[in-house]
Amino acid sequence: MDVMSQASPDQTAHPGGTGVGASPGEEPLLRLRGISKHFGAVQALYGVDLDLPKGQVTALCGDNGAGKSVLTKSIAGIHQVDEGEIWWEGRRVHIRNPKDSAALGIETVYQDLALADNLDIVQNMFLGRERLQRGLLDEDSMERAAKETLASLRVTTVRSIRQPVATLSGGQRQAVAVAKAVMWNSKLVMLDEPTAALGVAQTRMVLDLILRLKDHGLAVMVISHNLNDVFEVADRIAVLRLGRMVAQDSISAFDRQSVVDYMTTGVSSRAVKGPSADGGRN
């Protein structure tokens, strides 16, 4: 069990070394080291380390105000980090805005979905990255690509991909948002509370979608309050508490109670299997 006991912000990392929780020898897709972020007087993140390996679902857990959204938005380029290093495929990168993040292959599915209600499914999926032909929008090619992506994810419940997003149910909107994220040959997809406010069947659909992303070899990060969902889809768990990463390991090292302990107190007396084989930075 790798408990980074309230890791101090000034602790510098060794990028070449073994990743936190990643398989030995394999470079995680995204590696964060010592990420700090403050808003005015409020410190949101204190020296956070995080690894997101390919083909695995990492659940980011934490109570309200733990800094989950800030961390996600920092990776997505919505916020710029104050301190710390971001390594992508073993290369040091700087993410200054959403375009930088998208250029690396990072896509985010936000809690409020970030879809424009007045636009249809195709228009939303290509928003900001429209295909052009002779200077004008190439609707045919965009519609075909959107259709293929939805089909590959087996999203089959919408009546027409030309219907405005306002006419979709919550689960369908979530599916469109996920499809939008994967259409860009993205390598990392981050989902912010993907099942919040969804019914049972719709939640099932979204969880299946997450597992399909993983099968496609993508790195997936799921932010969730819902431990049922976490234990159903996650391969790894990372727990934030008050802006610090208090635990990060493969799912076998946790049980529900220990995750709750980490989220609420920052420590857990419950050791499920002891330190996992691949865990540990020390």
Binding mask 10-29 for another protein (x = CB under 8 A): --------------------
Q: Does 230 bind another protein (CB under 8 A)?
A: no
Could you tell me the two tokens for 61?
A: 């857990």
What's the rounded Cα separation, in Å, for the pair 141 and 185? 16
Q: How many residues bind another protein (CB under 8 A)?
A: 56
Could you tell me the two tokens for 8?
A: 């101090």
* Of positions 36, 58, 74, 108, contacts another protein by CB under 8 A: 108
What's the rounded Cα separation, in Å, for the pair 91 and 28? 11
* Of positions 36, 69, 123, 224, contacts another protein by CB under 8 A: 123
Q: Does 202 bind another protein (CB under 8 A)?
A: yes
Going through 144-269 in order, the beta strands assigned E by DSSP cover 188-192, 219-223, 236-241, 244-250
Q: Does 145 bind another protein (CB under 8 A)?
A: no
What's the rounded Cα separation, in Å, for the pair 21 and 277? 9
Q: Does 80 bind another protein (CB under 8 A)?
A: no
C-alpha of 159 from chain center: 29
CB atoms inside a 10 Å sphere around CB 121 = 28
* Of positions 14, 17, 25, 136, contacts another protein by CB under 8 A: 136
Which residues sit opposite 191 in a β-bridge?
A: 109, 222
Annotate 269-282 with DSSP letters as a single string.
S--SSSS-TT----
Q: Does 75 bind another protein (CB under 8 A)?
A: no
Dihedral sign for Cα atoms in the order 128, 71, 169, 228: positive
Pick the stretch among 1-9, 95-103, 209-217, 266-274 that binds another protein (CB under 8 A). 95-103
Nearer to another protein, 44 or 165 (CB): 165
What's the rounded Cα separation, in Å, for the pair 47 and 9? 4
What's the rounded Cα separation, in Å, for the pair 10 and 35? 10
Q: Does 241 bind another protein (CB under 8 A)?
A: no
Q: Does 94 bind another protein (CB under 8 A)?
A: no
Helix axes 170-182, 139-152, angle to 10 degrees: 110
Nearer to another protein, 156 or 269 (CB): 156
Pick the stretch among 51-59, 148-156, 181-189, 233-241 that binds another protein (CB under 8 A). 148-156
Q: Does 96 bind another protein (CB under 8 A)?
A: no
Nearer to another protein, 90 or 199 (CB): 199
- Please report how close the Cβ of residue 221 comes to another protein at its closest, in angstroms: 17
Nearer to another protein, 2 or 143 (CB): 143
Q: Does 197 bind another protein (CB under 8 A)?
A: yes
Quick one: three-class SS letters along 50-88?
EEECCCCEEEEEECCCCCHHHHHHHHHCCCCCCEEEEEE
How is residue 90 annotated by DSSP? T
* Of positions 156, 185, 269, 282, contacts another protein by CB under 8 A: 156
Nearer to another protein, 153 or 263 (CB): 153
Are 52 and 30 within 8 A, CB to CB?
yes
Binding site for another protein (CB under 8 A): 76, 78, 97-99, 102, 108, 110, 112-119, 123-124, 127-130, 132, 135-137, 140, 143-144, 147, 150-151, 155-164, 166-173, 197-202
